[in-house]
Amino acid sequence: MKRMRVPFLPAIVALLAVLAAFPILTNNPSMREELFLVFMLVTLASSINIIMGYTGYVSFGHIVFFGLGGYFAFYLMQIQGWHFIPSLIVAAIPSAVIAALIGFPILRLRGAYFALATVGINEAMRVVFNNWDLFGGAVGMFFNFSVYTQYGGAKAASELAYYTMTVVAIATITVSYLIKRSKFGLALMAIREDQDVAMIVGIRPSRPKIAAYVISAVFPAMAGATFFFKNGIIEPGHAFELLRSIESLVMVVLGGIGTVAGPIVGAAAYEWLRGFLITNPALANFQLFLAGLLLLVTVLFVSSGLVGWLRERFPVLRGYVP
Amino acid sequence: MSVILSVQNVTVRFGGLVAVDAATFDVEQGTILGLIGPNGAGKTTLFNAINGVYNRHGGSIVFDGARISGLRPYDVAKRGIARAHQIVRPLNDLSVIANVTVGAAFGREDLSLGAARKVAEERLAWLGLADRAEVLAAKLNVAQKKRLELARALASKPRLLLADEVLAGLNPQEVGDMLGVFRQLRSQGVTVVMIEHLMHAVMNVSDRVVVLDYGKKIAEGSPQEVTNDPKVIEAYLGDPKLAARITEEG
């Protein structure tokens, strides 16, 4: 809804592209690994923001789509022998269908009930995959090292995963931005503010809500496919890890819920902080404690997050940072 | 003149409580109907029945020749009925202009975002909120929120406006401005049904008045007829003889 003086989207895409090229050009694998993780977290946080920030539904167990995408893609690569890229694209489809099927009943719930339902679904999925032999059961699935030869070796495969994650992150941000500026996005935000009023002004809430949920499921599925392709092994505990879900929520809140830039800033800041804490011998054991404390302070004192706070403090920024 | 809204034997029950009891009246197109009655008479409940919030009611509601009973609120909105709430319900975390754009974009006209924004700007200018367009709706004062509520309803270019106590809490100057808006709407052919407690305002602007008490229609007619109706006086003041005595003594 804001007049844009500097085009945010081209600026942020260019920034990410330059950032992504940096470790490749300087041949710095540890930086590449670090950025791979940041792009993955940006994808997860921006996706959650679409359903949580724009639509107002706190999807606590959103990591379920990361796990599903990972599993479906891994199955296609490992059992069916597919190449990574088509596996990633095809794996997103059942994840989206599942999101639509789940979304239909649970998006009728409001507030805490929806959040609890999403946790339940994530836990249920973990149990399902724990017991499903087709997907390796409790042990999961793992690649034979020779799988990577078709990509030109492990290093090349790692780089392919890195490029893919960059593209997925940029795609997520682009979609998030376009939604925020669209009529569809306005409907979502009206539903977030007051669903009853939204209905009275002529919005039929079920369709946009389900659409938002499906969109927010597709990108984590792709991120999961990429992550587990690079990882070479997938097992239920790792695929449906609730902690990662909660961490993504923290990133959204930290950066600024409901803004396009917030989840990007939040994911980068959170990952930077974690890197700093983990490598600091005095603080390493308190990493999660400090993350929790940070969330508490944000929620209590700067509930609009870093980006939201800046936008409130310096209204001129609103034109630049959606 | 043609009848645009026809309420026939509408009954709304909450468990054993009959909130609206066989209410029946017609509204002619391009007129203002005042809906009055003591607190708890069922006026707002009747609005909720008309715009589909309570879509399981007895009787029938016909809008512009088509039965709208049982439709959901979004379908009713698409047919051109807009609603301004008694307790203002702004979309707090959205800007004022975004609030009104929502009304324009999803109502009867189903406009694109750009076109909706233009309509929204026009409505804000009409209701004197143009300078507040970029402010978050939560930051407005009560009078401004009332105007925002009306601007959002009018942004959909409704054929029928259900205005629920939009004058309550406004100062005389603001009431005068609002009545001006209603008269302008009428001159544009928009039909208005207004619930109002400010008697001089309703009597001043309404073409007809319907009085509800305990969910039943107890009187209907021109403002003049209604104010002289003993049943109406009784509903408001109790025993009409007592009321007459008080009035004399006062």
ipTM given for this complex: 0.89
The pLDDT-based confidence of A7 (bands split at 50, 70, 90) is confident
Read off the tokens for B48: 């909720």
Distance (Å, rounded) from C-alpha A6 to C-alpha A14? 13
Residue of A nearest to B96 (CA): A1
Instruction: Tell me: do B169 and B56 sit in the same domain.
Output: yes
Query: Residue B47 in contact with residue B212, Cβ under 8 Å?
Result: no
Instruction: Tell me: do B39 and B149 sit in the same domain.
Output: no
pLDDT score at A89: 97
pLDDT score at A49: 97
Of B106, B129, B157, the position where a domain reaches its end is B157
**Average pLDDT for residues A270-280, to the nearest whole number?**
87
Question: Average pLDDT of chain B?
Answer: 91
Residue A200 lies in a domain: yes
Residue A22 lies in a domain: yes
Enumerate the residues of chain A whose CB falls inside 8 A of the CB of residue B107.
201-202
Residue A261 lies in a domain: no
User: Domain range holding B143?
Assistant: 87-157
Residue A37 lies in a domain: yes
User: Domain range holding A120?
Assistant: 8-241
pLDDT in tens, B148-185: 999 999 999 999 999 999 998 888 998 999 999 999 99
- Give the three-class secondary structure for A78: helix
Instruction: Tell me: do B140 and B188 sit in the same domain.
Output: no
Residue A2 has pLDDT above 50, yes or no: no
Residue B250 has pLDDT above 70, yes or no: no
Q: Which residues contact B197 (CB under 8 A, 6 or more apart)?
A: B36, B165, B168
Question: Average pLDDT of chain A?
Answer: 92
Beta strand B17-28 with B191-195 is: unpaired
Q: What is the 3-state secondary structure (H, E, C) of B54-93?
A: CCCCEEEEEECCEECCCCCHHHHHHCCEEEECCCCCCCCC
pLDDT in tens, B196-246: 988 888 989 999 999 999 999 999 999 999 888 888 888 877 766 766 666
Distance (Å, rounded) from C-alpha B92 to C-alpha A193? 7
Smallest CA–CA distance, residue A159 to chain B, in Å, is 41
- Give the three-class secondary structure for A311: helix
Instruction: Tell me: do B130 and B211 sit in the same domain.
Output: no
Residue A265 lies in a domain: no
pLDDT in tens, A235-253: 999 999 999 999 999 999 9
Instruction: Tell me: do B39 and B62 sit in the same domain.
Output: yes
B78–chain A Cβ distance below 8 A for any pair: yes
Residue A179 lies in a domain: yes
B93–chain A Cβ distance below 8 A for any pair: yes
Domain count, chain A: 1
> Residue B183 is which amino acid?
R
**Average pLDDT for residues A72-101, to the nearest whole number?**
96
Of B111, B132, B157, the position where a domain reaches its end is B157
Smallest CA–CA distance, residue A53 to chain B, in Å, is 11
Distance (Å, rounded) from C-alpha B134 to C-alpha B74? 27
Domain count, chain B: 2
Instruction: Tell me: do B190 and B71 sit in the same domain.
Output: yes
pLDDT in tens, B18-67: 999 999 999 999 999 999 998 889 999 999 999 999 988 899 999 999 99
Instruction: Tell me: do B216 and B94 sit in the same domain.
Output: no
Residue A249 lies in a domain: no
Instruction: Tell me: do B166 and B207 sit in the same domain.
Output: yes
B108–chain A Cβ distance below 8 A for any pair: yes
Of B123, B157, B191, the position where a domain reaches its end is B157
Residue A214 lies in a domain: yes
Instruction: Tell me: do B176 and B62 sit in the same domain.
Output: yes
Q: Please report, for the domain that includes residue B11, its CATH number.
A: 3.40.50.300
Contact A202 B53 (CB under 8 A): no
Instruction: Tell me: do B150 and B169 sit in the same domain.
Output: no
Smallest CA–CA distance, residue A197 to chain B, in Å, is 7
